[in-house]
Amino acid sequence: MRLLTPALEARLRANLAARFEAAAQGRCEPDPPPVVRLFSPVGAATWLATEIDADGIFFGLADLGFGCPELGSFALAELEAVRLPFGLSIERDLHFTASHPLSAYAEAARQAGSILLGEQRLRRAARPHSGHG
C-alpha cells in the first residue's frame, strides 16, 4: 500500500505552507489536526502527521511503543522501507479522521504514555455524558 495518496500529500503540504506563512507574518503557528495516521500492524508504533516537506519529511507525533510519544520529524522513505514479520509493512489507517488538533493528541498521548491510549482518552472525553437527575 502506498502510504500517501496525492490528496493526502496535498493536504500535508498545505499545512506546511500555512505554518511558513504564519511565521512570515509573525502570527502564531497553526495547530492543524493530523492528516494521516500510520501504524505498525504487529506492534504499538503509531505516527500522526500534520505536514510533509519536499524531502518527504513528516512533522507530527511519533510513538514507537516505548511509552515516550513525542512531537518531531520522521521520514516517509524510512517508514516505507520498514519490513515487518510475515511480509507486513507500515500501513495507513484508511478510516482515520482527526477530531482534534495535533496538540490535543500530543497532550493526551503524553499523559497516557502512548498515542493509542491517548486516542482512547480523547474518544471517551468526546462522548456525550448521560446525566441523571
Identify the band that residue 127 occupies on the pLDDT scale cut at 50, 70 and 90.
confident
111-133: average pLDDT: 84
Task: Give 55-97 pLDDT, tens digit per residue.
Answer: 999 999 999 999 999 999 999 999 999 999 999 999 999 999 9
Q: Ramachandran region of residue 16, left (φ > 0), alpha (ψ -120 to 50) or beta?
A: alpha
24-53: average pLDDT: 97
Identify the band that residue 51 occupies on the pLDDT scale cut at 50, 70 and 90.
very high
Among residues 68, 77, 31, 26, the alpha carbon closest in space to that of 51 is found at: 31
pTM of the model: 0.92
* Burial class of 115 by CB neighbour count within 10 A (0 to 12, 13 to 18, 19+): buried
Whether pLDDT at 54 is above 50 = yes
